[in-house]
Structure 1
Amino acid sequence: MNELDQMRLKALQNNFRNQKNAARGYRNFMKYRNDDEKLKWLLRHHDEEEVVKGKEIRFREDMDFLLGYYTMLMAAVITGYLSPDILREITREAEEVLNNKRVKRYYSKYYPLALPELLYDFLTDESVQVRTLRHIRDEQPIKGETFETVMLLIRSRIEDDDVDLFLSLLDNFHYYDSEVRKYIDIEVIWDRLRQYDNKKNKAMYNSDIFQSALLGFAKYILYLEAYSDVLGELEEKPLSQSAIWHTDGYWLERLQTELGGVLYKGLEIVDSITKNSQPVQYKDEQLFDESNFAAWQSASSYSINKAREDIDFVLRERLNRPVNSLLARNHQ
């Protein structure tokens, strides 16, 4: 392993594997790896029984972080950020985790993640390794700074409490808000946003959950725009582009299939508010003159349309296909 690979592997490990959630996820896996019934229960599909207990939620979140590390590792190899030889450094741990039948069902069936599954196949099947390496070598490696941008983007997303809350709401979770004494879901958020100037909703606007959800919404849109920029740079490298797409594949696939319409609804509401707004009056004095206000509306409309275009691009089905096709061939 050369010095550059050592530095890059260290950066990847420090950003993902050595973070407390992933490290705790591995420790907890080792604790329960021989208790099949316990793991089966902890890693059940939520349709079997809703996951509401704090300890169970934390166990699953920590496992998600650990799987996220394996996701980034496989993406790093596919894109040429790391040499495939680097995988010898992590083979034992990765095989131990990814080959466990309860973990495997969790990441391959219940909540499909293509890159951990591809990593397991790569580590355990020589024919898969040869085929995958052939496809990798058909493309030039991406720039190191491009992959490092992706690492920073993913870290910023998974560590942001506002984005985490918003994505939970988007994914049909609901929270009890003591400020308004009711459960809040994403439709409540959109409804109150739509009626932003209704004084009857003052308590809701003061709600920490409402404020955090709106902030998370705005941050997530910016995140998807930045993600779109990275993917757009890789149009001539479809396999690498697909690998980068799959670094956040769980949420992007959810947006492609079920949640995208809910996200676009939020943008439509913000667009409507912007277009129908009037200059603010304060003590009979208009705070913005007509030309400045019109310029603000125009700039806001442009930003919203740009966000739609970027999200449309990120959610194109063709972006997930090269990696999915590679994985499918492994299972023929």
Structure 2
Amino acid sequence: MPVAPDTTVPAPDRERIRATAPESPIRSVLSTQGVPVLGALIVVAAIAVLFVDMFGTPRNVNFLVLSIAAIAMIALPMTLIVITGEIDLSVASTLALTSATLGLLWESGTPLETAIPIALLLGLALGAFNGFLVTVCGLPSLAVTIGTMALYRGLAYVLLGDRAVASYPQDWVSGVRQPFLGVQGLPWIAVAVLVMALLFAVLLHVTAFGRSLYDIGHNAEAARFTGVSVKWTKFWLFTLSGVVASGAGVFWTLQYGTSRADTAMGLELQVVAAVLLGGVSIFGGVGSVLGVMSGVLLLGVIRNALQLFGIGSDVLQIVTGSILIASVVTPNIVARVRSRRTSEVPTGTVPGDRPLNGEKS
């Protein structure tokens, strides 16, 4: 339950909290962080269409969309978590454990109609466990999710070991790859991810709950004084992340028609890279759904184009890691440059304005 606003908080703190929240949904969605990434995506995609053979074909577009669908799904709740100043590195392991559980249930004779809801409930429990450790126990999310990343992956190996389950019904396996309304290059999962992105955009940029996430990211203590239940908010965000990662695990399993304990290794790196590339600050308080979805697509386009050039997976990992580092370093460099320019303004003056306090110019 949200706590009542504390009127004892100093007025400057209350004003600062109001100032840091997005002023309007439009301004929040079209943030200065998201628009440049969208522009870069358009430029890179245009270059790929012009200079990379087969890139613009419906078959390759279909492959591209399927390859980034799970990343896009997981990146949406990750965006909300990072905006609050936290992180979840256990998402790929949650996906793998969900896939292993689904495989074990199917092998035991459980129909997929029953096995899939059980797998989603598992994801909810895994996410809630992360949230419990972070909010109730007060542990840092980085340490917690590094630990559960290893724990959940280890449990997946306990369930399946080194073997694979690949006996899923062909109609389920082929069904997840079917084009939406017969449009080639547009699998139905793309429409599902688009609907999810719109829902998350409304949640983040329109609702009071979404605005509270920015408040938490800027200053959790001050947000608490304004009536935000910080612990419960973070708990439900981690729970949501677990459910969505589990849903991505179901999709991943049916897309490839197999369950393995080592599936989606390193996927968390791609998710975090896409989120940070999309303009979400690793320190919290900044970010937009438009920027993150643009980041997911930009990373996907770059990786797909390099694959068409015959670049190996090792080089692709280097590219992803380099983009991740650049996504963290670049905003800090820009912030330092702006800070230096601000510090060069003479004391007692406002740039472009007359001297203050009666001082002579």
- Give the TM-score range, shorter chain: under 0.3
Question: What is the TM-score of this pair, normalised by structure 2?
Answer: 0.25
More helix by share: 1
Specify which structure has the bigger relative contact order, considering alpha-carbon pairs within 8 angstroms and separated by 6 or more residues: 2
Question: What is the TM-score of this pair, normalised by structure 1?
Answer: 0.26
